[in-house]
């Protein structure tokens, strides 16, 4: 992007935008909730639409001058309706977390029960966790996968019959397998609950036919727009025919809880970005892209398994992989830090039955959405897996006592000050490790061959 004007006004901010641009170009971005938006989407987000205020909805605004903004919001809505085959869409939510809150406000009263997947099994904070408003205002009852590593729908039904939830959330944020919306619907329908499908992660896969469609089963669907959809940071709430049948006022209720319930003026520049990304998502090229994301992820998973990584559930059906780092003897936090030094960006993550607190989880989560947006395919995934392996092996050779670190971070000898000192030792060792440095250089050279959409090379 051209940031000449920023540089003229504000050199400090420009400097860091430039550095971040270089970072995005020179490293392997593998956080599964991230992606690269196209230049067209970035242009929309950086446009004059950011200047406008338009509280309300198209043709029903509280401010003047919204003639063109109305058209843009209507285009976004119509595109989403067509793409997902739903009768109602709200494109104003600022992001996924407020969108979920808006749905809860529309469908529940404070103190009502919602059921969502627990965090360590791949659920999201906004699905009833006590540390989020979803579990503080409502009664979050969290389910997990039980012993078999899969949702036991008989158990889910028993739990639902017992706690009588108003909403069951069928959604994951760190789960490498298919979400069976039909089975969730059977349980929700039996107990009279609303089924909310939060498809923030898998939305692109749903559009591309690589994941079952929630539309026939869910009453309400929420998605963020910045993950596999490759749009701007935002979210959409959709109501299905099934949802309107259960409650004909559902769409109105959601509209009211988005504005004025929780939000003020919509971010019109983001709405334009959503309109553009939905146009892109309707193309054959996008369908090809998501198929490649999944194919890449499968190759990456089998290569990582070959290198002895312990994949939660044994593999992947979607765009992401969750690795349990116990067998490598390196905590997920340290592994993620070490891999960053090697040029590989992913996030640490809880794994099922993790004994560690969330800040020091024993897992890492990685995906192929962003790398595939750069044009990487199966053969490149083999290289990526080899680099991850090489970097982790290099970490193992460091003169660093990973076991003591665990004891000090969250074990028997817990000592935050000492842990910070040990962290510094780790940073120092990793920053001078020759194999890590070599990997970072190799990755930098490799990345030059794969342009980042939205960045001029």
- To ligand PLP, the closest distance from the beta carbon of 151 in angstroms equals 16
Does position 171 bind ligand PLP by CB under 6 A? Answer: yes
Residue 24 token pair: 């995005």
Active site residue 271: no
Residue numbers 8-67 binding ligand PLP by CB under 6 A: 33
Does position 132 bind ligand PLP by CB under 6 A? Answer: no
264 labelled ligand-binding: no
Active site residue 53: yes
Give the Cα separation of 408 and 403 in Å (integer). Answer: 9
Which residue out of 25, 166, 177, 227 is catalytically annotated?
227
- To ligand PLP, the closest distance from the beta carbon of 128 in angstroms equals 12
Residue 166 token pair: 């108003």
Active site residue 55: yes
Q: Residue 187: CB partners within 8 Å, gap ≥ 6? A: 153, 156, 157, 160, 168, 193
Q: Which of 280, 294, 282, 277 is nearest to 372 (CA)?
A: 294
Does position 267 bind ligand PLP by CB under 6 A? Answer: no
Residue 345 token pair: 């960006």
Give the Cα separation of 389 and 434 in Å (integer). Answer: 15
Question: b/e string for 207-236 if b means 16 or more Cβ within 10 A?
Answer: bbebbbbbbebbbbbbbbbbbbbbbbbbbb
Residue 204 token pair: 């692109």
Residue 3 token pair: 């940031």
Give the Cα separation of 84 and 238 in Å (integer). Answer: 9
Sign of CA pseudo-dihedral 303, 308, 311, 313: positive
Give the Cα separation of 368 and 380 in Å (integer). Answer: 11
HEC profile for 345-409?
Answer: ECEECCCCCCCCCCCCCCEEEEECHHHHHCCCCHHHHHHHHHHHHHHHHHHHHCCCCHHHHHHHH
Nearer to ligand PLP, 90 or 439 (CB): 90
The string of DSSP letters for 26-49 reads HSEE--TT-----HHHHHHHTSGG
Does position 305 bind ligand PLP by CB under 6 A? Answer: no
Active site residue 227: yes
Does position 129 bind ligand PLP by CB under 6 A? Answer: no
Q: Which stretch binds ligand PLP (CB under 6 A): 185-193, 195-203, 311-319, 444-452?
A: 195-203
Which 3 state secondary structure label does DSSP give 278?
A: helix
Does position 200 bind ligand PLP by CB under 6 A? Answer: yes
Q: Which stretch binds ligand PLP (CB under 6 A): 178-186, 196-204, 361-369, 373-381?
A: 196-204
Q: Which stretch binds ligand PLP (CB under 6 A): 78-86, 90-98, 300-308, 396-404?
A: 90-98
192 labelled ligand-binding: no
Does position 201 bind ligand PLP by CB under 6 A? Answer: yes
- To ligand PLP, the closest distance from the beta carbon of 87 in angstroms equals 23
Q: How many helices (H) and strands (E) does the chain have?
A: 19, 15
Figure out which of the listed residues 96, 231, 363, 454 binds ligand PLP, where binding follows CB under 6 A. Answer: 96
Which residue out of 29, 73, 144, 198 is catalytically annotated?
198
Size of the site for ligand PLP (CB under 6 A): 13
Active site residue 225: no
Which residue out of 183, 233, 256, 444 is catalytically annotated?
233
- To ligand PLP, the closest distance from the beta carbon of 149 in angstroms equals 19
196 labelled ligand-binding: no
Does position 425 bind ligand PLP by CB under 6 A? Answer: no
With contact defined as beta carbons under 8 Å apart, do 100 and 132 qualify?
A: no
Active site residue 393: no
Does position 173 bind ligand PLP by CB under 6 A? Answer: yes
With contact defined as beta carbons under 8 Å apart, do 399 and 429 qualify?
A: yes
The residue at minimum Cβ distance from ligand PLP is: 96
Nearer to ligand PLP, 206 or 395 (CB): 206
Binding string, residues 202-241; x marks residues near ligand PLP by CB under 6 A: ----------------------x-----------------
Question: Which residues sit at the interface with ligand PLP, rule CB under 6 A?
Answer: 33, 95-97, 100, 124, 126, 171, 173, 198, 200-201, 224
Active-site positions read 53, 55, 198, 224, 227, 233
């Amino acid at each position: 992007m051209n940031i000449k004007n920023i540089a003229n006004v504000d050199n400090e901010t420009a400097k860091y935008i430039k550095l971040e641009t270089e970072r995005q170009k020179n490293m392997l971005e593998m956080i599964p909730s991230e992606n690269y938006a196209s230049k067209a989407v970035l242009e929309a987000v950086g446009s004059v639409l950011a200047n406008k205020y338009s509280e309300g909805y198209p043709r029903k605004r509280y401010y003047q001058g919204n003639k063109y903004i109305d058209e843009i919001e209507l285009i976004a809505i119509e595109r989403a309706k067509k793409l997902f085959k739903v009768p109602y869409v709200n494109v104003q939510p600022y992001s996924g977390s407020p969108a979920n809150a808006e749905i809860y406000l529309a469908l529940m009263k404070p103190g009502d029960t919602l059921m969502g997947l627990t965090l360590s099994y791949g659920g999201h904070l906004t699905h009833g966790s006590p540390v989020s408003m979803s579990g503080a205002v409502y009664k979050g009852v969290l389910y997990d996968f039980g012993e078999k590593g899969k949702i036991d729908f008989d158990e889910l039904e028993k739990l639902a019959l017992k706690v009588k939830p108003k909403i069951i959330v069928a959604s994951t944020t760190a789960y490498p397998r298919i979400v069976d919306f039909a089975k969730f619907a059977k349980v929700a329908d039996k107990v009279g609950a609303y089924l909310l499908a939060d498809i923030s992660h898998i939305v692109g896969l749903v559009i591309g036919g690589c994941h079952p469609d929630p539309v026939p089963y869910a009453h309400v669907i929420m998605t963020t727009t910045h993950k596999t959809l490759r749009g701007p940071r935002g979210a959409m709430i959709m109501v299905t025919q099934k949802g309107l049948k259960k409650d004909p006022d559902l769409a109105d209720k959601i509209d009211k809880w988005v504005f004025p319930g929780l939000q003020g003026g919509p971010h019109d520049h983001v709405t334009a970005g959503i309109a553009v990304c939905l146009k892109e998502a309707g193309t054959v090229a996008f369908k090809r892209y998501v198929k490649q994301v999944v194919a890449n992820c499968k190759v990456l998973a089998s290569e990582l398994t070959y290198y002895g990584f312990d994949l939660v559930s044994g593999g992947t059906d979607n765009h992401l992989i969750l690795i349990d780092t116990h067998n490598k003897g390196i905590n997920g936090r340290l592994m993620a830090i070490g891999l960053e030094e090697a040029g590989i960006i992913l996030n640490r993550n809880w794994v099922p039955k993790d004994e560690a607190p969330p800040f020091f989880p024993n897992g890492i989560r990685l995906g192929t959405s962003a790398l595939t947006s750069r044009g990487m395919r199966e053969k490149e995934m083999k290289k990526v897996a080899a680099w991850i392996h090489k970097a982790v092996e290099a970490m193992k050779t460091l003169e660093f006592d990973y076991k003591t670190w665990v004891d000090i971070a969250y074990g028997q000898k817990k000592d935050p000050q000492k842990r910070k000192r040990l962290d510094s030792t780790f940073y120092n060792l990793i920053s001078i490790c020759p194999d890590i440095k070599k990997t970072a250089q190799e990755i930098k050279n490799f990345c030059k061959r794969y342009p980042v959409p939205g960045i001029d090379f």
